[in-house]
Amino acid sequence: MAEILDGLKVSKEIKAEIKVEVEKILAGKRRAPHLVAILVGNNGASKAYVNSKVKDCEEVGFQSSLIKFPSTVSESELLEKIDELNKSKAVDGFIVQLPLPDQIDQEKIINAIDPRKDVDGFHPENFGKMALEMDTFLPATPFGILTLLERYNIETKGKDCVIIGRSKIVGRPMSILMGRKDFPGNSTVTLTHSYTKDIEEYTRKADIVITALGDPHFLKGDMIKEGAVIVDVGITRVDNDSPKGYYLAGDVDFDSCAAKASWITPVPGGVGPMTRAMLMKNTIIAYKTSVYND
C-alpha cells in the first residue's frame, strides 16, 4: 500500500516557517509583506479560492487586500488597476484570479503585470527564466509539487516521469522543472496530452506520474507500474447522493493506484494546500527582493 504525500501537513510546516520570518521582519520595525488579489465577477470556485488566500495571509502575518470588480468591468479599467499596483511601493505581489470574462484578453492582463510582482509565475518573462533555469517565481502548483517531492526526499534523478496534461499553469511548466538540472529534477520527461495515443503505454513504464487533467478517476491501477510515485493535481466536483450532494475527486482512481504505488497524493489534502502555501512563499520572496522595499 502506498505511503501518503501529505500536502496538508507540509503546507502547514511551510506556512509556520513563513510566519517566523514575518515575525522577524515585524520585530525589525519593517512593514509586513503585502499580497493583493483581484477578483472579477462572481465565479463560486474563484471566490472560494481567493478567500482561502486571504485566510492564508492572515495565518502567516501578511497584509492582504482583495479588490473586486463586476463581471462587466472593461479591459481598460482592469489594466488601469494593474498599473496602479505595479507602481505601488506598498504592494509586493499581486494576482489576478483566472478565468476572466470574455471581453478581457487574458494574455494582455498577464503581460501587464510587473514580473517582479508576478507571484503566480505566469508572466512570459518569469516563464522564460524558469525554462532557462534562472532564479524567478515558479508557478504555484508546480512549485508546490517540487517542494512536496523534496520534503519527502523522493528520488527523481534518472527516473522516467510522465506528465498528463499540457496546460500553461501545470503540465508544461512541470515538464520543464522535472527535467531541470536540480533536485527535484534530472528526470527523463514525457509530456502527454489529449492527442497522445495509448497513453497507458507511457504511464506503465513511468517511475513518476503527475496528472493534471480534471478528468475524475482517469488514472487506474492497471495503468501504472508497481512502486510508481503518483501526484494527482486534478480536483473535480462529482455529484452523488451524500448530504453535500457531491464529493471531490482527483484524476487518479485512488484505491486501485494506492495498491500498487510507493507514494501517492490524496485529493483533497495533496497538491491543493501546497499550491496555496507556495503563493505565500512567492510573496515573501517578492518582498525580500523588491526594489521598493528600502
Which among 6, 114, 118, 120 is annotated as catalytic?
A: 120
Q: What is the DSSP string of 175-239?
A: HHHHTSSSSS---EEEEE-TT-SSHHHHHTT-SEEEE----TT-B-GGGS-TT-EEEE---EEEE
Asked about 120 being catalytic, the answer comes back as yes
To the question of whether residue 221 is assigned a binding role by annotation, the answer is no
Tell me: is residue 171 an annotated ligand-binding position: no
What type of residue is 179? G
* CA proximity to 46, closest of 110, 97, 103: 97
Angle between helices 140-151 and 171-178 (to 10 degrees): 40
Choose the catalytic residue: 53, 117, 159, 260: 53
Q: Is 230 annotated as a binding residue?
A: no
Residue from 6, 56, 97, 117 carrying the catalytic annotation: 97
Please state, in angstroms and rounded to a whole number, the distance separating the CA atoms of residues 166 and 236: 18
The answer to whether 167 is a known ligand-binding residue is yes
Is-catalytic flag, 97? yes
- 63 catalytic per annotation: no
DSSP string, 231-266: EE---EEEE-SSSSSEEEE-SB-HHHHHTT-SEE--
Residues written for the chain: 294
Specify binding-site residues.
Answer: 165-167, 235
Specify binding-site residues for NADP(+).
Answer: 165-167, 235
The catalytic residue positions are 53, 97, 120
